[in-house]
Structures are given as C-alpha cells and as structure tokens.
Amino acid sequence: MNRKEGNGDVSMIKTRLFAVTALSLAVLAGCGGSSSSDSDPPVVEPVPFSFVEATVSSLHTSLETGGVSCEDVIQGYIDRIHAYDDDGTETELRSVVNINPDALFEAREKDLNFEVTGIDGPLYCVPVLPKDNFNTKQMPTTGGAIAFQYNRPLEDAYTIRRLREAGAIVIGKANMDEFAFGFTGASSLRGLVKNAYDQSKGAGGSSSGTGTAIAASLAMVGTGSDTGGSIRVPSSLGGLVGIRPSLKLVSQDGIMPLASWQDTGGPMCRTVEDCALMMDAMVGFDDSPHANQRISFEIDAPAMSGEDEYKTLTGVPDTYTDYLDADGLNGARIGVVRELFGSNETVNAVLEDALAAMEAAGATVEDVTVDDLSTILGDYSSMSSYEFQHDLVAYLNSWVNVMDGHIQTYQGLLDSGGYLPNYQSSLEYRGTIDLDNLTEEQQEVYSKNTVERPVFVRERLMRALDNVDAAGNSLGQPYDVLLYPTMTGLAGDLGGSPSAGSNNRLSPFSQFPALTLPAGMATNLEPAQPIGMEMLGREYAEPTLIKIAYGYQEQVHPRQPPTFTPEL
C-alpha cells in the first residue's frame, strides 16, 4: 500500500508548547518550594488519552490538559492501523487503503500553534477516515478499483473541505465495495474487509472499510456514502451510529457516484454526539453543479438558488448538538413497523429488549402499519444500473487528467480490466444503458422509479408517521419516528453478503433521513455481535433522530467494543 510512516520523534513537538500553560506554571511554582496562595494558578492534572472508544470530547479534554499532543494522537492511530489492519497476517482487517502523507505534518502544525489558538474548531485534531469515494486532494480516490488507483482529483469533496475547516485531520482513506456495488466489502485494490467483531465474517458494505475501521478504533470518526443501505448496513455490523441524511441536505460534490438520484454522504461514528458534530460540518449549501441540492424531491426540480433558500427549505439548525438530550426518550413516540421484522430470533430478541428500554425511559412505543409496504419494497428498485455509466463519466470528467492521466471514459474503464472479475458482467450491462437515450421500455422503468416511486412511498410513510388512514382520518397521536431492525439477519461469512433484508430501501426510496444505532449485543453468539436498529423520520428531521438516539444511548449504553483490537 502507498503509505508513509510517521516517525513520531520530533522532540520539540513532543514537549508541546501548549503545556507551558497553567499546568506548567503550577508545577514550576511547586518546585520552587514557595507556599501556595490564592493567586497561584490551579494545578491541572493531565488527562491521558485512550485510543479505544475515544470520542471528540475525550480527545479535547486530553489535549487541553496536556495529556496528549495532536501528533501523539495521529501517530497513535497510524500505529493502530499498521498493527491491526495491514500487519501481513491472516487477521489483518484490510479496512484502510491509504494513509495521508500530510497527516502528521498537519498535526505538528496544530501543536506548534496550540498555545495561541487552543482548540479552535469543533473537530480540532479529530482523525477522520473517509470512504475511498470521497475526493481528497492529498490522496487518490479509487472507488476501490485498481483502474482508478491513480485518480488524483485537484480539490477535496465539499464535505471533506468542510470537515477540514472544522479542524479535522483526514488520516487516510477507507476500503469499500468496489464501485459501491454491494454488501460484501470486496475491492480489487485491497481485498475483503473483515468484520471487527468476528474476522471470519464480512463487514457489510459498501462503506465496509469505514465501518470496520471506526468499530476497531483505527480512527475516531468516518464518512460513508449510501445509495441503498451502504452507510447503515456496515454501521449496524460495526456497532456504530450511521446517518443517511435527507437527500438534499449534504452536497454530493466530489463523491464518486453510484446513482445520483439517491446517493448521499453521511457520518459513521461510535457515538451519537460525534455524529452530531460531523453533521454540523458536513451539511451546508453548495453551488457546485454536482451538489444535487434541488428545491424539492422531483427529479427535474431546479437547484437551490443560494444559502438562504437552502436554510429555508431544510431548516438546518445552527448545531445538531443542541439536540443531545439525555432525556430524549421521555415523551418520544415510536412507531414500530412489525412487518419489517424478519425471522431471526437473535435480532428480534435484541430489538424487543431495546423497545422495552425505550418504554422504561418514558417513550410511547406502538405498532404501526405502513400501507402497501410489500409494493414499496417489491415493485420499486434502485436506479444504479441506469445511472452508473452516465454519472461516473460525468464525475471522471470533473477534473482534467493532464497530471494523473486518469480514465475518463466508460469504455476506458471496461478495457482496463482494473476491477474484480466477477463485476465484469455487471459493468458491461450498465454500459449498455444510455441515460440520455433510453429505449421506450427503459424509460418506463426509469420514470416509475424516479417520478412515481417518491410520491407513492412518501405518501405512505407520512401516513404512518402522522398516524392517519388513507382518507386522512386520525388513528391517534403522530409518531416522531418509525423504527425497525436495520438488518433482518446477521453478518455473512467473509466474502458473502449479510442477511440485510430490504428495510434499508425506505430511506432512499422516500428521500427521508434514517439513523441506525446499536440496539444491543447478541451475547448468544461467540464472539458477541452488535445488532442495529434503524429509525426513519420526516424529511429534514435529523434533529429528532439525534435526540431520540442520544436518549437511548445514554439510557442503555448499548455499544461494546470489539475484543480483538485493544490498546497497543
């Protein structure tokens, strides 16, 4: 792999200028033997930094008290990647494809300026691991394919730029299902991603590398993209919080597409509060033609005109952290979609315990029916086969290839052979569909899933959320969210797909937001595996999802770390 080791031996940085603060002065005063007085600065005890299960808050506390430097943090995560992800053994996780060669330099720069700036951003020094379909100007963006291993976009994706502006350090790039095609976690660039909890199992996909790496504490937070479950499935298998935002909330500029009609990026984190901070950074109006921020759900709707219209239409809050309420379950109304529960007794038992805990914390939990659910999940489909060639070629031509010589045509991709052999027939089929010149039969299918589908699905989900019948008559108080298992089954064997089911279709088919979080652990499995539950809300109701999820997290503390990646 193309990686640059950090030497971690810059003693000048290790002394940390920011340590010459109240802590240092207090220690010096004590060494001088003078008696303490009210004017003496308080002694601040350094708070050590623990990499496993670290949060943004724990990082900032340790930085502020001199317990760790930013360089220590970045070097430590790089060390963990080398120890657990690419040590050349059968147990390596294979979740990271690249380490940012500038990450340590950026960390040292923050340390040098710390005495002046302090923590000057909500994600200051936070190591972020994006999925390898997010453009990062310091590293290639490959989509998991050898064919794209030299792709060097000239600019960061909009969301990556926003994360950097919030103080984050992009530590590397995460492995993924090649072209975001599936749930197995396989790429020609790095191979199969392993499950952080059980390395004989798969990590899900297509944001598989992010899911495993964040679960194993190889970085603090990460990004994924979701067309039909690609954030939520690996988050569920990694015991993570994963958010698929409302479709127009997050700019798609600089994210290698699968199907722009329903693609979106989103955060993947170990805690709700860290995902709230990530959301703050990732949302925002983008005037790029690739942002995919339209004024309504219709496929031919015009783009938003500016920041004011974006804020008016989305109602985006000043900060999602305002909704981190430990008592967030008290008074919440949860509509449980029993029809989306599968036959797996382990999954269902963990979900039942979670629902009982919600009720005990003051939530109202009631069963709800989504009209025509079998039609929603059975008669409609993703449009990735129709849009992939068109959208990928547009992406590949969004920067000049003078410097990197990257492939810019679909035929060039096919001719390269730089992809998994089992994807050849799928790539060839997608190459036969010309979105600008569909046959009459193809146009009928495309219109059904881009014009008919969103209206049909949104109407029925809103009836369930509003708790009304088809005529609009009230059936009771409205619900805040609909809840169901993220996956109806368990992780698949390595190289196979998990038992994901089709629950993940509701969010992309409606463009409504969905959040998955750990419901609990399946302790009857060896080793124990996390089980996820998904909550779906009204369009732009991310604050509600965050509030309820945080309330559950703080009441139940459902996440447990994997046992195979302890502190070094």
CA-nearest of 539, 509, 548, 547 to 246 is 539
Range list of H helices, 87-147: 103-117
Give the CA angle between residues 94, 185, 144 to the nearest 5°: 75
**What six digits make up the tokens of 23?**
């802590």
Q: Cα–Cα distance between 429 and 431 in angstroms, integer? A: 5
pLDDT at 1 over 60: no
Quick one: fold of 11-16+19-28+30-556?
Amidase signature (AS) enzymes (3.90.1300)
Q: Cα–Cα distance between 57 and 49 in angstroms, integer? A: 11
Q: What is the pLDDT of residues 178-228, one digit of tens each?
A: 999 999 999 999 999 999 999 999 999 999 999 999 999 999 999 999 999
The whole-number pLDDT of residue 243 equals 99
**What six digits make up the tokens of 415?**
């001719």
In which element (H, E) is residue 546 found? helix 542-556
Give residue limits of the domains in the chain: 11-16+19-28+30-556
The whole-number pLDDT of residue 38 equals 59
pLDDT at 314 over 70: yes
**What six digits make up the tokens of 153?**
């976009």
**What six digits make up the tokens of 500?**
């994901």
Written as one string, the DSSP assignment of 12-47 is HHHT-GGGTTHHHHHHHHHHTTPPP-TTSPPP-PPP
Name 469's Cβ contacts closer than 8 Å, sequence gap at least 6: 463, 475
Q: Cα–Cα distance between 207 and 132 in angstroms, integer? A: 9
Query: What is the three-class DSSP state of 464?
Result: helix
The whole-number pLDDT of residue 39 equals 66
State the average pLDDT over residues 143-155. Answer: 97
pLDDT at 546 over 70: yes
Q: Cα–Cα distance between 281 and 219 in angstroms, integer? A: 17
State the average pLDDT over residues 336-340. Answer: 98
Least confident of 8-17, 290-299, 322-331: 8-17
Give how far Cα 452 sits from Cα of 295, 444, 459, 514, Å. Answer: 18, 10, 11, 21
CB 258 within 8 A of CB 299: no
Q: Cα–Cα distance between 57 and 398 in angstroms, integer? A: 37
Predicted structure pTM score? 0.93
Give how far Cα 230 sits from Cα of 179, 195, 255, 531, 557, Å. Answer: 12, 15, 14, 16, 24
DSSP state of 269: E
The whole-number pLDDT of residue 17 equals 35
Q: Cα–Cα distance between 189 and 186 in angstroms, integer? A: 9
Residue 516's DSSP bridge partners are: 242, 534
Q: What is the pLDDT of residues 368-404, one digit of tens each?
A: 999 999 999 999 999 999 999 999 999 999 999 998 9
CB atoms within 10 A of CB 86: 18
Query: What is the three-class DSSP state of 333?
Result: strand
pLDDT at 29 over 50: no
CA-nearest of 150, 152, 225, 147 to 188 is 147
Q: Cα–Cα distance between 552 and 354 in angstroms, integer? A: 9
Percent of the residues in the chain that have a pLDDT greater than 90, as a whole number: 91
pLDDT at 288 over 50: yes
Q: Cα–Cα distance between 141 and 130 in angstroms, integer? A: 10
3 compared with 258, residue with greater pLDDT = 258
CB 275 within 8 A of CB 223: no
Q: What's the CA dihedral at 440, 443, 449, 450 to 10 degrees?
A: -150
pLDDT at 32 over 90: no
pLDDT at 563 over 60: yes
The phi and psi torsions of 543 (rounded to 5 degrees) equal -55, -40
Q: What is the pLDDT of residues 108-117, one digit of tens each?
A: 999 999 999 9
Q: Cα–Cα distance between 387 and 48 in angstroms, integer? A: 49
Q: What is the pLDDT of residues 422-445, one digit of tens each?
A: 999 999 999 999 999 999 999 999
The whole-number pLDDT of residue 28 equals 34
CA-nearest of 490, 454, 457, 465 to 545 is 465
Name 381's Cβ contacts closer than 8 Å, sequence gap at least 6: 449
Query: What is the three-class DSSP state of 286?
Result: coil
Q: What is the pLDDT of residues 459-512, one digit of tens each?
A: 999 999 999 999 999 999 999 999 999 999 999 999 999 999 999 999 999 999
CB 468 within 8 A of CB 320: no
Percent of the residues in the chain that have a pLDDT greater than 70, as a whole number: 93
CA-nearest of 21, 139, 145, 3 to 77 is 3
The whole-number pLDDT of residue 472 equals 97
CB 107 within 8 A of CB 74: yes
Least confident of 13-22, 57-66, 75-84, 221-230: 13-22
Q: What is the pLDDT of residues 507-527, one digit of tens each?
A: 999 999 999 999 999 999 999
Q: Cα–Cα distance between 125 and 281 in angstroms, integer? A: 14
CB 511 within 8 A of CB 539: yes
CB 269 within 8 A of CB 214: yes
The whole-number pLDDT of residue 6 equals 42
Residue 42: band (very low, low, confident or very high) from pLDDT cuts 50, 70, 90: confident
Residue 40: band (very low, low, confident or very high) from pLDDT cuts 50, 70, 90: confident
Q: Cα–Cα distance between 305 and 295 in angstroms, integer? A: 8
The whole-number pLDDT of residue 43 equals 83
State the average pLDDT over residues 222-246. Answer: 98
pLDDT at 30 over 50: no
Q: What is the mean pLDDT of the chain?
A: 93
Residue 34: band (very low, low, confident or very high) from pLDDT cuts 50, 70, 90: very low
**Angle, helices 440-447/384-396, rounded to nearest 10 degrees:** 90
**What six digits make up the tokens of 560?**
């447990």
CB 78 within 8 A of CB 1: no
**What six digits make up the tokens of 111?**
């340390």
